[in-house]
Amino acid sequence: MRDLPRAGRLPHAVLVDLARSAIAAGDWSEPTIQSSIDRFADALVTEVVNGTGVLLHTNLGRAPLPASVRSRTVELDLGTGRRGSRQTGIGRLLGVLCGAESALVVNNNAAAVMLVAAALADGREVAVSRGEAVEIGGAFRVPEVIERSGARLVDVGTTNRTRADDYRRAIGRPGADIALILSVHPSNYRIEGFTERPEVRELAALGVPVAVDIGSGLADADTPWLDGAPPAWLADEPAARQTLAAGADLVTFSTDKLLGGPQAGVIAGRAELVAKCAQHPLMRAMRPGSLVIEALQTTVTALLDRRPDDVAFWAMASMPLDAVRSRAERLAASCGDAVEVVEVESLPGAGSAPGRGIASVGVSFDGDHSVALRRCEVPVIARVESGRTVIDLRSVAPADDELVTAAILSALR
């Protein structure tokens, strides 16, 4: 079996198990064994080249991670030699980045929302606009998350129009026990036309703690880690610093989207409310591991030091169009006349900045070669449009251009 394609990537014990399964099924022919090997290998996490143009591709792990991540001190205070908290350093870094008094890191943004509701409103009510009680990626449903937290959902307003007065009436109704107002950025869900939603400052004036789930994790709308003005594709994307400055008590967001880090969730804002979340029993089940903490620390430090090229997502998103075009021209020239340079549009992805694209350049060639590209030693993920295979180079690391060239030549052969 070791001589079969891709078998060398699998442990011997796995190959033995696949062979036994084939024998038990009564078909141990080479094509059947090869099919089993392929299915198993395809299910493993592996490095790939993202040529789709979706910078934060959910199926490809969203924000790419730096290769240097490794385990270090997590809960050791180097000054005293005693046990410390894994949250102390990263919490301070996030606080500086987002303009928050304090911050807490959990497994993902769904965990962040659930923990806020559980810590601040267990057994009480959480007010949410009907237009924001949405389901987004991974069957994340706001009403179900609130229910599982132990709080009770109170619908406010209507699907398309909700005003501050709707929240005020809900708070003042007989028997009301609203402990929290939760405002949810609908991410990849949009209502257009006859719509209205209150500003954060209006909600902050109602006398109830306000938590805003900004979802995509833009830390600062001014993007101080970039040279020049914020990119146009970020227009209208909510940001943590500005949301807190407008009066929100807490913000929650994902760190593997516009922040550009590993998968995790953040709760940031008023110190006493963050502390309540940290002390809740659920926190133990939601805390991240050492690799996540270090990768997140690396990401936040790079943004604070204004080194966007050290954060893979921001390096891709901010690469000048001329630089992407030059790479595409060199790649096409290396592949021959069958490959041509094309103007394309990249997408931020992962529900970030929905409906907005980033001008880009790629290469294309006749036919659907997506399967052949995925079968390369390092798979290349492409898209197919109008019968042509397209590779968007904005989502490909420049160091991988030669690898992509070799993959295209192999596919064409």
pLDDT digits (tens, 9 = 90+) for 78-95: 455 666 666 777 888 899
Average pLDDT value for the chain: 89
Q: Among residues 50, 69, 68, 71, which one has the least CA distance to residue 59?
A: 50
* Confidence label for 69 from pLDDT (cuts 50, 70 and 90): very low
Looking at residue 78, its pLDDT comes to 45
- String of DSSP letters for 320-374: -HHHHHHHHHHHHHHH-TT-EEEEEEEB-BTTBSTT--EEEEEEEEEB--HHHHH
Looking at residue 163, its pLDDT comes to 95
How many Cα atoms occupy the beta-carbon half-sphere of 195 within 13 Å? 11
Average pLDDT rounded to a whole number, residues 235-251: 96
Summarize pLDDT for 245-278 with one digit per residue, the tens: 999 999 999 999 999 999 999 999 999 999 999 9
* Confidence label for 77 from pLDDT (cuts 50, 70 and 90): low
Report the DSSP beta bridge partners of residue 251: 212, 268
- String of DSSP letters for 262-304: SS-EEEEE-HHHHHHHHHSTHHHHH---HHHHHHHHHHHHHHH
- Amino acid (1-letter code) at residue 300: V
Q: Answer whether residue 50 shows pLDDT above 90.
A: no
Could you tell me the two tokens for 324?
């992407």
Name the CATH topology of 46-63+315-412. Answer: Aspartate Aminotransferase, domain 1 (3.90.1150)
Average pLDDT rounded to a whole number, residues 339-344: 97
Query: 228's torsion region: left (phi>0), alpha (psi -120 to 50) or beta?
Result: left
Residue owning tokens 């708070």: 171
Domain locations in the chain as residue ranges: 9-44, 46-63+315-412, 87-310
Q: Which of 11-15, 34-38, 185-189, 272-276 is the least confident region?
A: 185-189
* DSSP reduced 3-state for 54: strand
Average pLDDT rounded to a whole number, residues 73-78: 50
Could you tell me the two tokens for 141?
């449903």
Q: Which of 29-33, 149-153, 334-338, 406-410 is the least confident region?
A: 29-33
Highest mean pLDDT among 28-32, 259-263, 292-296: 259-263
Q: Answer whether residue 143 shows pLDDT above 90.
A: no
The CATH code of domain 87-310 reads 3.40.640.10
Report the chain's terminal Cα–Cα distance, integer Å: 27
CB atoms within 10 A of CB 151: 25
Q: Among residues 384, 375, 383, which one has the least CA distance to residue 407?
A: 375
